[in-house]
Amino acid sequence: MCASSLNGFDIVTRHLVMEKDLNPEGHLFGGAMLAWLDEATGIYVMEKIGYPDFVTVGLDNVYFKAPGHRGDIITIYSRIVKTGASSVTAETKAVNHELHSGADREIITCRFTFVCLKEHQAYPYFKSPEYRVWQEKQRGAPARD
């Protein structure tokens, strides 16, 4: 996992598309792709907000723009676009970087919304003192490379 920045997006992780990930058309199966994105976006958000206890409440703006193929190396990018009281929304995309041509093929873009929980209830974490402490710690922390 790394965090180089690209137009506001951070690289979260990569996946190699294998035979087991394909649908009968030979394209990357959308369900497999969405599972990768859900997990990657969850990890990304966890590290950005400093709180691990949340669930996915919404998935929208899903656009399968181009097929993924066996052998593709898919890079997943994410960025937080909105926080509410208990919710946080991140935009995520997956891109295949063609090794030989150097061209990028955007495969999917979508948005995930997560809700922070405490004792199994929505928890307004972004209004809490613990979030303010996290933000201050981030501001004071030396930059990671």
Ligand X SMILES: CC(C)(COP(=O)(O)OP(=O)(O)OC[C@H]1O[C@@H](n2cnc3c(N)ncnc32)[C@H](O)[C@@H]1OP(=O)(O)O)[C@@H](O)C(=O)NCCC(=O)NCCS
What distance in Å separates the CA atoms of residue 116 and residue 121, rounded to the nearest whole number? 8
What distance in Å separates the CA atoms of residue 50 and residue 8, rounded to the nearest whole number? 19
In eight-state DSSP terms, residue 20 is G
Min CB(110)–ligand X separation in Å: 13
Q: Which of 108, 106, 104, 98 is nearest to 38 (CA)?
A: 108
Residue 54 or 77: the one with the smaller Cβ distance to ligand X is 54
**Could you tell me how many helices (H) and strands (E) the chain has, helices first?**
2, 7
34 binds ligand X (CB under 6 A): no
Q: Write the binding mask 101 to 130 for ligand X: x where contact by CB under 6 A, - elsewhere.
A: ------------x-x------x-x------
Min CB(17)–ligand X separation in Å: 24
Q: Contacting ligand X (CB under 6 A), which of 2, 57, 99, 133?
A: 57
Min CB(94)–ligand X separation in Å: 20
Min CB(30)–ligand X separation in Å: 18
Residues 6+ apart with CB under 8 A from 50: 131, 134, 137, 138
Site residues for ligand X per CB under 6 A: 55-58, 84-87, 113, 115, 122, 124
